Amino acid sequence: MWSRLVSLGLRAPVGGRQGFTSKVDPQGSSRITAQVIEHLERLALVDFGSREAVARLEKAIAFADRLRAVDTDGVEPMESVLEDRCLYLRSDNVVEGNCADELLQNSHRVVEEYFVAPPGNISLPKLDEQEPFPHS
């Protein structure tokens, strides 16, 4: 049953990440271009790592596309099943905290009471500057 989800004609050609441009889906919906891959990897800060992973995403999208068949005219999106209740708010009093030591213990790199991070504002190298799929 699930074999129907294997995207038709969206298989990536061999050799290098640039080769991930897929043919246009006949429904004109999702296409996994190299740009989309790069974009997702930056947003998620998780890499695909292999062609299989891209294929899995394509299957996931094709699966999700089945929602198009549902008529949702006039239907409001549902954010929470508790939408018709008032949110309970606590009084704005500090009742706990002061546990800096405990929290710092879980970090790999601390200096005094600081978590240490590498320098920021340096973007990841662009796709063509990277090696293709170190883990495939």
Partner 1 sequence: QSGSSLRIVSAALKQGQITPTELCQKCLSLIKKTKFLNAYITVSEEVALKQAEESEKRYKNGQSLGDLDGIPVAVKDNFSTSGIETTCASNMLKGYIPPYNATVVQKLLDQGALLMGKTNLDEFAMGSGSTDGVFGPVKNPWSYSKQYREKRKQNPHSKNEDSDWLITGGSSGGSAAAVSAFTCYAALGSDTGGSTRNPAAHCGLVGFKPSYGLVSRHGLIPLVNSMDVPGILTRCVDDAAIVLGALAGPDPKDSTTVHDPINKPFMLPSLADVSKLCIGIPKEYLVPELSSEVQSLWSKAADLFESEGAKVLEVSLPHTSYSIVCYHVLCTSEVASNMARFDGLQYGHRCDIDVSTEAMYAATRREGFNDVVRGRILSGNFFLLKENYENYFVKAQKVRRLIANDFVNAFNSGVDVLLTPTTLSEAVPYLEFIKEDNRTRSAQDDIFTQAVNMAGLPAVSIPVALSNQGLPIGLQFIGRAFCDQQLLTVAKWFEKQVQFPGIQLQELTDDCSAVLENEKLASVSLKQ
Total residues contacting partner 1 by CB under 8 A comes to 59
Identity of the residue, 19 or 49, whose beta carbon is nearer to partner 1 in the bound complex: 49
**What distance in Å separates the CA atoms of residue 21 and residue 77, rounded to the nearest whole number?**
33
Binding mask 71-100 for partner 1 (x = CB under 8 A): -x--xxxxxxxx--x-xxxx--------x-
Are the CB atoms for 31 and 43 separated by under 8 Å? no
**What separation in angstroms does the CA of 61 have from each of 7, 18, 29, 64?**
9, 21, 9, 5
Q: Least Å distance between CB 11 and partner 1?
A: 17
27 near partner 1, rule: CB under 8 A: no
* Bridging pattern class, strands 110-111 and 114-115: antiparallel
Q: Work out the end-to-end distance of the chain between its first and last CA atoms, rounded to an integer number of angstroms.
A: 28
**What is the widest separation between alpha-carbon atoms in the chain?**
60
- CB under 8 A: which stretch of 9-17, 18-26, 34-42 binds partner 1? 34-42
Site residues for partner 1 per CB under 8 A: 1-2, 30, 36, 39-41, 43-49, 53, 56-57, 59-61, 63-64, 66-70, 72, 75-82, 85, 87-90, 99, 102-103, 105-109, 115, 117-124, 135
